[in-house]
Amino acid sequence: MIQKEPSLTVIEKRVLKAAYVNGVQHLKNRFYERVGLKKKTVDYVMKKLEEEGLYSGMVYKLNLSVFNSGKAAWIFITVNRITFDEGFFLKKIFEFPQVQMVAHITGNYDFAVRVMGHTIENLNEFAINFEQIFGDSLEDFHISFINKEYKRHYLAVSEKFKEKVELNAVDKFIIEKKMKNSLIGINELAKTGDFHRNTISKRWKMLWRKGVLIKKIPLLTPRGYKEIDLGLKAVIIIKSAPGKENKLVKVLLHEKEIQDIFTTLSNEIIIVMRTEDSDSLATLHAVLPRRADKLIKKTNTFIILKSLRRPGFLFGSHEF
């Protein structure tokens, strides 16, 4: 008989959800103050949750909209199951430096791929090469270029972060190392990269001040997501009523289940959301049109069944 994992206490759930949604670190108050507990209590709870497999380490969330260059897109793919080799596909796809995430999805498509590149041309070049390699196995291929980001991991993209940031070699080095190991400190970064400690410290503070770094969160496991009622993840493509895109975005910004909001060059709105289960998703589908009265023309929803991500955050000649 399989023994069921014990449920978390109310305090443990509160701490874990706050850590994931709001971050254990960002520009505002200290984490333990935000959850209304003593630091010693919060530290104990977080350590216990990691030991019990609710999360595995920490990662930083980046505000891509402030980078001086860089474009992103979602690619939706339908495959020919007769000729499709999933093992080959998943092995080869991360050889493209633009690919950041691949997800199995439900709906009209089989896979959603998140890609990043320096320019639209770079992403178009990727799309051509992608189709050349996998063309015989593709039934349909749709690319949605991201035009503007409005919400990033539950935080509205602040208007105060309008200034574009040109990342230098030190910035890229810091982000690369911190994304791979969030525990690495200023002194170790300086020693590893052969930089002065003050240089690392100054650039690290700049990344927070300029809004490049927005928060530090735990990497939740499937059980971690389930325990805080965020076990289902979906991508929804929304077509707004003519001329109502901006008004609709303002409505969507207030929906707490929505994690990310983007607009595309094809005048669509893409939202990424997490909710408890399919019933919760169905409720949102029923309620959202009423809250966005006459602003939504149509929607297309894809539930993410599982996903694979490129580890860390890579920089290179064709990477962003």
pLDDT band at 319 (very low <50, low <70, confident <90, very high): very low
What is the distance of C-alpha 256 from the center of its chain? 16
The per-residue pLDDT for range 160-204, each reduced to its tens digit, is: 566 778 888 999 899 989 988 888 999 999 999 999 999 999 999
DSSP 67: B
Q: How many whole angstroms separate alpha carbon 152 and alpha carbon 268?
A: 17
The per-residue pLDDT for range 195-249, each reduced to its tens digit, is: 999 999 999 999 998 888 889 999 999 999 999 999 999 999 999 999 999 999 9
Identify the pLDDT of residue 5.
66
The per-residue pLDDT for range 68-107, each reduced to its tens digit, is: 556 789 999 999 989 899 999 988 998 888 898 999 999 8
Q: Which domains does the chain have, with CATH numbers?
A: 166-209 (1.10.10)
The per-residue pLDDT for range 244-290, each reduced to its tens digit, is: 999 999 999 999 999 999 999 888 999 999 999 999 999 988 888 88
Listed in sequence order, the residues at least 6 apart from 5 whose beta carbon sits closer than 8 Å to its beta carbon are: 223
Q: Judge whether 146 and 71 are in contact, CB under 8 Å.
A: yes
Q: Record the pTM.
A: 0.86
Measured CA to CA in angstroms, residue 135 lies from 101, 112, 128 at distances of 20, 16, 10
pLDDT band at 4 (very low <50, low <70, confident <90, very high): low
At residue 22, what are phi and psi to the nearest 5 degrees?
Answer: -95, -20
Residue identified by tokens 């962003």 is 320
Identify the pLDDT of residue 244.
92
Mean of the pLDDT values across residues 107-112? 93
* pLDDT above 90: residue 54: yes
Cα-based angle 145, 86, 220 (whole degrees, multiple of 5): 65
Identify the pLDDT of residue 161.
62
